[in-house]
Structure 1
Amino acid sequence: MNTAVRPRTGPTDRGSGTRLNSDNSTRSRFHLSAAARSLGLRALAVGGFLLLWWAVARAEIWPPVILPPPHAVWEQAVATTTEGFSGSTLPEHLWASMRRILTGSGYGTAGGILLGLLIGLVPALRVMLGPLISFVRALPPLAYLSLLVIWFGINEEPKIWLLIIASLPPVAVATADAVRNVGPDYLHAARSLGARSWRLPLWIVLPHALPEVITGVRIAVGVAYTSVVAAETVNGLPGIGGMIREAQRFNQTDIVILGLFVIGLSGLLIDGILQRIDRILAPWRGRT
């Protein structure tokens, strides 16, 4: 007579399961407390900055035209959102700048990835184009804005081209460096498994270089944000840079500071989205 052997679930097994649940619960509470602590520190930093700003403005060390109080900037935010400034509301100014930034950095990113792949994979192109990319990267945007205005006029074309030229070199350099760091063992293994040579850049090289490419994209978007005010100094209305330029002409410091805050906060939002994309597309970053 066969007797089935039943698995024994003694006190040790039950204790092990209890410990696992306890460890998971402890880890979850630790992550929650770390997130809450991080959020609290950020709120404390922002509150401290606003308090210091209010105290300095209250002491009237400088006149309001130099340093307006925080409530003046807030009032201008409400007024420009509801009533507008220079013919457009604050959301319309922001959307015009965001459209230029996303278009320019989008084209610059696509061109930078393609150029970086070519430079990283073809030594002859690396020798010819590498110094040119470094030369363009060293140029400040205002240095070639006047030339772009002569070439393309004062409409949207010079603004988009300025942002393309400003954002392309960081992506190209990051991509080329990442491509050169791809180990030859990966390429040999792919060839031994039957991969064609023309498929290696898309199947092996680019996925391996993806974390560095995304870092280059983040840098490129940051460069585009720093260049948008320069791009919108020429016929930049509507646009945050144009709004800042127009307010500067009439010494409206509160609107200038409002524009800086809007650019900074929208830049943080875009960078947070890019970091999220980085975690999704390259989850192995920082892990062994």
Structure 2
Amino acid sequence: MTAPAPGSPGLLTVTKGHGTQNDFVLVDDRFDALDLTEALVRALADRRAGIGGDGVIRLVPCDALPEGARCLAQDPRAEWFMDYRNADGSIAEMCGNGVRVFAAYLVELGLWDPAADGDLTIGTRAGVRHVRQEPVAGAPGGVWYAVDMGRWHLPGGAAAERAGFDAEVVVTGLEVARPALSVDVGNPHTVLALAGDAELDAVDLTRAPSVSPQPPHGTNVELVLPLGEQTAPDGTLVGRARMRVHERGVGETRSCGTGACAAALAVRTWGGPQAPDVWLVDVPGGTVRVRVLADDHVELAGPAVLVARAEVDLAALAV
């Protein structure tokens, strides 16, 4: 069934962390001894009867999983794999906030020293990801974590780019279906634009939006409000947007890293060739930065915070 933490019979040591209040339960399973079942994930993520979180992240060696072995073949430096599960127990390909928290977790465990080791290479179900620390005044620990999220694309191709949409979304609180743009950032997203703060605030995301056509594996839905552009002190043109998100398998969350990337990329697509390559995306849990890189890659940067360590009585979870 479930392997307890070494030296702690019946107890599982976990850490609680968040990235712009997108929160996770993290488990150190570096010896691949834990059977992370859907039931266990749901129990750990339960906000009343468990620890509580938008998802569960298991640290495991890349060579312990077929997906990790593929990452090792892509880059032999990918020693550790981020095994990410949604709060409902389902497996997810990628979580941008989760990658940053996972990186902070590796620092906490002494498995990554940014000053000595340089950039971090990790495996995910969406492929290899590279993480670096950068100093940011006022951030937790004085640093942000910047992640190369890999390649992004518009599933609808050139036709969707020209039209600005390839789907329709019905959201509780909006009177009519809205056109939306599908964006893939290692996992699926559907982005629709709203007209103002009042409309964005009035939306009810306790119910899952209805997307047509429905992607085969579901989709995250981002509601985005473009806020214009400004010139940074170094002369860089920076766009800004406000976002709310409904994550598949979770519901509305305070933040979604890949969702912030998708929202920025959608607004940039709608803006045309002169649109900025750098975006600040405001979510209910804070602000992250999205930067378009060469070769259709996109970078996500923001804070990561570890707030607690706990021992969970597995018998009390009744899984």
- Same fold, judged at TM 0.5 (above): no
Decide which structure has greater helix share.
1
Q: TM-score range by the shorter chain?
A: under 0.3
Decide which structure has greater strand share.
2
Question: Highest CA radius of gyration, 1 or 2?
Answer: 1
* TM-score of the superposed pair, with normalisation by structure 1: 0.28
* TM-score of the superposed pair, with normalisation by structure 2: 0.26
